[in-house]
Amino acid sequence: MKSKKKTLVEALIYVLLIIVCVWLVPKYVVQRTVVSGESMQDTLQNGESLLVDKVSYHFTDPKRYDIIVFYPKGRDVEEYYVKRIYGLPGETVQIKDNDIYINGNKIDDPYAKDEMVSAGDAQEPIKLGDDEYFVLGDHRSVSLDSRFSEEDDPKGPGPVKRENIAGKVFVRIWPLSKFGKP
């Protein structure tokens, strides 16, 4: 028969493990995020719940067309955006006549829901830094994305720094009828 002291210690260890897991998992491993707005339609809809992988980008680099969650004003501000990566570090991005050019070459754009109302800053070539990504929303006419810097719009993120990327969207969990990879 176990002593009361041993049972109490086991219970405390169990409670501490639960607290650590509840705190560590969302902070460092996977986070639930809710889509706010229409900027990623038709891929993602307002109100859908997503899971964000916060680990893999510690071991691999983000890739073109990944859907990411990032903090447009830095991690110390709670606001986040969900967008798709188009431009990678060191590349030059330009938008001409609704087409996206990377280093002067037109790239495929299979995710655009509509035409861009404005190319924003990207009407001129934008050279990305060694830690910067160019992101766009799929619903271009309503998306505040890398086309717009803070000088254009207070909410415009401009190019996204790697340190401000929270992670990669890897599964839609709600609504259940759309469960799976977005």
Tell me which residues are annotated as active site: 39, 83
Q: Are 40 and 139 in contact (CB under 8 A)?
A: yes
In terms of Cα–Cα distance, which of 128, 122, 67, 64 is closest to 98?
122
Number of H helices, E strands in the chain: 1, 11
**Strand order, beta sheet including 160-161:** 30-34, 49-53, 165-174, 67-70, 81-87, 132-136, 160-161
